[in-house]
Structure 1
Amino acid sequence: MASPTAPTISATGITAPTYAQVLDYLKTTYRSIYGADTYLESDSQDGQFLGVIALAISDANASVIAAYNSFSPNTGQGAGLSSNVKINGIGRAVSTSSQADLTIIGQAGTVITQGVALDGNNNKWALPATVTIPPSGQVIVTATCSVTGAVSAGVGQINKISTMTRGWQSVSNASPASPGAPVETDAALRARQKTSTALPSRTVLDGTTGAVANVPGVTRYVTYDNDTSFTDLNGIPAHSMAIVVEGGDVSAIASAIAAKKGPGGGTYGTTSASVPDVYGMPITIRFFRPTYRTIGVAVSIKALSGYVTATGASIQQAVSDYVNQVAIGGGPSGTVEWADALTVANSVPNNSTFKLTSLTLWGPDGVGAPDIPLAFNHAASCTPASVALTVT
């Protein structure tokens, strides 16, 4: 029979007594040996000794529970979670560099080896190891910034050739660079693991989405399927799918879609790449890169006792982080939600030192009502500096 102080594993999972329950058991056992009138409160030597023992047992129980939970992707953490997801053929994403889709123009047949382009700030953007310009005279490839982190590059800012190559005439980026990301968090890895289980699914759409999610460098994505005979409200043609993908290599994404999409189903988007299908025949795959919409926030608070400027900075960072993690297209609601931003602002540490009096969102089309709508291929973007804080 298990000790009353030990963890218990049942059909519903693992449980363990609390510290207070362990301490109470030790006191009861101690008194059964030395007498019911033994004084064991925290101001006694024996009481303090039992408290130390109870804490050691409670800490050991917590470690056992953590070890038990580490075997599930839903509850695993850190290295344990990284080990769990290997069964799905994925791994925790390491910190990445910014990526940009570059349009390379030049003479047909030109081979660019270890090509490098420059932006207006002289940041280097490395092309794939070998790029061959096709008969059309231009090709879209994904370049990676040589500097790790969120290096930004707006439309047309990557426009210089660093490694001069005969036949390579020009380079430009028709869309903003996808910013680099830090090491993948546990929450993000759990979400990706859940999506990755769709790879061997029966549903073609789920399998295609899972394949795209598993492409290295992909940070956000959303899939739309128009199975009707008419163009839908998003402008997606009949019997076509549209996938909006942030991050990842263009060719790798197109190859993932080509390998999983159903026969005869069309793809729709503004970014395209020619890749071989499962039979080795070249096909053109189209998808979208997100269009970033800058979101501004105005927050007004009333400072209470204990308020410090660091608390205000925490509000700005928390609201900015919320906006940046909103799903492409705004998720089910299709919006950056005012209520969610309000909740985040009110949930920062030391929230008892201020009273939030107002919060307003605005976007490219003006002030929200109170939410900010996002088109299906739009992604919200916000920096802490875009969160205007007024303290009274």
Structure 2
Amino acid sequence: MPDGAYIDRDGFHLPDYVATLELLRAEVKAILGEDLYLEPDSQEGQLVSIFALAQQDTYNLAASVYNAFSSQTAQGAGLSRMVVINGIRRQAAGYSTVPVVCVGTVGTIISGGIVEDQAGRKWELPASVTIPTSGEIHVTATAQDIGDVRAAAGEVNKIATPCRGWQSVSNPQAATPGAAVETDAALRGRQAVSTALPSQTVFEGTLGAVGNVRGVSRWRGYENDTSETDADGLPPHSICIVVEGGDNAAVAEAIALKKTPGCYTLGDVEVMTRDAKGLPNPIRFYRPLLVRVRLRVTLKPLAGYLSTTGAAIKRNLADHINTLRIGDDVLASRLLTPINAADTAGARTFDVLKMEYCTGDAPDGEAEWHEGNISIAFNAAASCVAKDISLPGGE
């Protein structure tokens, strides 16, 4: 086996610092004599340690360069450059959006309107909004702050820039949270999907095209290739794609470009696209309905249980639920993993006595709590925040 770092058919081999230090000590003694004292409490030993550290840093740099040539091991900027060969780019941070209803006098023009939620966060309306003859208009507001900004239904209800004729604002649906800069793990997953773009499976290629649309954070597709309507309500010979994030027109164009001719698309969002000959082609898809999940985990604290343990349980549970795919049920048995992860390795500071859940926005006194799994519709996605998790016995 070669000394130091080396590359063979199995890949890059990197020694640890201790091995590098011992090798350098042996080489110095071979030059200056075996009786040379090189322990850490000597000047010569300190000098050799500095040289060994510099050598180890060089090995680590070489390993990083080697790994940057594969999308499976590249990191950061190296991964961003690597995935360009697949025709994709790292998703930049996005802004949360929320559908709002502006009510006012017919003909009122709202220029540069800004609304506010109950937490004081501001949301910008389109540059110019005109109240139609119905007295109300549905528009999409965009959060001023980048990233994951959430607002439940009914929370965006304040007018931050009043103008004559604009009477009220409200959001009938929860906000669609924006995303932070795409992580390396997420980019690797999307890179794997993107390889399906030129595939022989048209449906997989369609999903790959949708996942590559700027701003899309989650997506899932369903196909019914039978001659009967399936359990999810898909008509015969149709596809259904549920997409979170991204511009409606861009998503529709991606579907229209990749789907087969004559294939019906199912969804509650319809965008009129045109084919290469200019003929109209309606494309439909779903925006996922966010299902608010509230949990009540009854604990029995044991020796060593701290308030920080409870905070970690809440954070782990919320993160687990928010990373589930569209249409995935919340399985009670899977929730034990993020709960137990709040304990340090080898520790046992609490016992889980019961796990209950409820969905929706009903007040605590009216909510119906259940045990077991949480069923999520094919066009919905589970959503949870730490404040919706209580820990009786462990608060």
Question: If the TM-score is normalised by the length of the shorter chain, which range does it land in?
Answer: 0.7 to 0.9
Aligned to 1:126: 125
Aligned to 2:374: 372
Aligned to 2:74: 76
Paired residues, number: 376
Question: Equivalent residue of 2:53, what SS?
Answer: helix
How far off is 1:388 after superposition? 1.8
CA pair 39-154 structure 1, distance change in 2 beyond 3 A: closer
The structure 2 residue matched to 1:199, chosen from 197, 211, 216, is: 197
TM-score by length of 2: 0.80
How far off is 1:81 after superposition? 1.6
Contact 2:16 2:56 in 1 (8 A): yes
How far off is 1:209 after superposition? 0.7
CA pair 113-261 structure 1, distance change in 2 beyond 3 A: farther
Question: Equivalent residue of 2:239, what SS?
Answer: strand
Contact 1:117 1:158 in 2 (8 A): no
What is the distance in 1 between the residues matched to 2:258 and 2:113? 32
What is the distance in 1 between the residues matched to 2:111 and 2:202? 36
Aligned to 2:383: 381
Contact 2:343 2:349 in 1 (8 A): no
How far off is 1:383 after superposition? 0.7
The structure 1 residue matched to 2:11, chosen from 10, 13, 23, is: 13
How far off is 1:368 after superposition? 3.7
Alignment map for 1:236-385 (pairs within 5 Å) = 236-297=234-295, 298=297, 300=299, 302-305=301-304, 308-330=306-328, 335-348=329-342, 350=344, 354-358=348-352, 360-364=355-359, 366-369=369-372, 371-385=373-387
Question: Equivalent residue of 1:189, what SS?
Answer: helix
Let me know the Cα RMSD of the aligned residues: 3.9
Aligned to 2:3: 4
Contact 1:303 1:353 in 2 (8 A): no
- Cα deviation 1:347-376 (Å, max 9, x = unaligned): 34745565231162523374342x333221
The amino acid of 2:7's aligned partner reads I
CA pair 172-192 structure 1, distance change in 2 beyond 3 A: farther
How far off is 1:4 after superposition? 1.6
Q: Which consecutive residues of structure 1, in runs of 5 or more, have no partner in the other structure? A: none
Aligned to 1:178: 176
What is the distance in 2 between the residues matched to 1:243 and 1:51? 59
What is the distance in 2 between the residues matched to 1:299 and 1:50? 57
What is the distance in 1 between the residues matched to 2:240 and 2:263? 11
What is the distance in 2 between the residues matched to 1:143 and 1:29? 67
What is the distance in 1 between the residues matched to 2:326 and 2:345? 30
Q: Which consecutive residues of structure 2, in runs of 5 or more, have no partner in the other structure? A: 360-367
Question: Equivalent residue of 1:322, what SS?
Answer: helix
Aligned to 2:30: 32
CA pair 346-326 structure 1, distance change in 2 beyond 3 A: same
Identical columns (%): 41
Contact 1:299 1:387 in 2 (8 A): no
CA pair 235-317 structure 1, distance change in 2 beyond 3 A: same
What is the distance in 1 between the residues matched to 2:294 and 2:256? 38
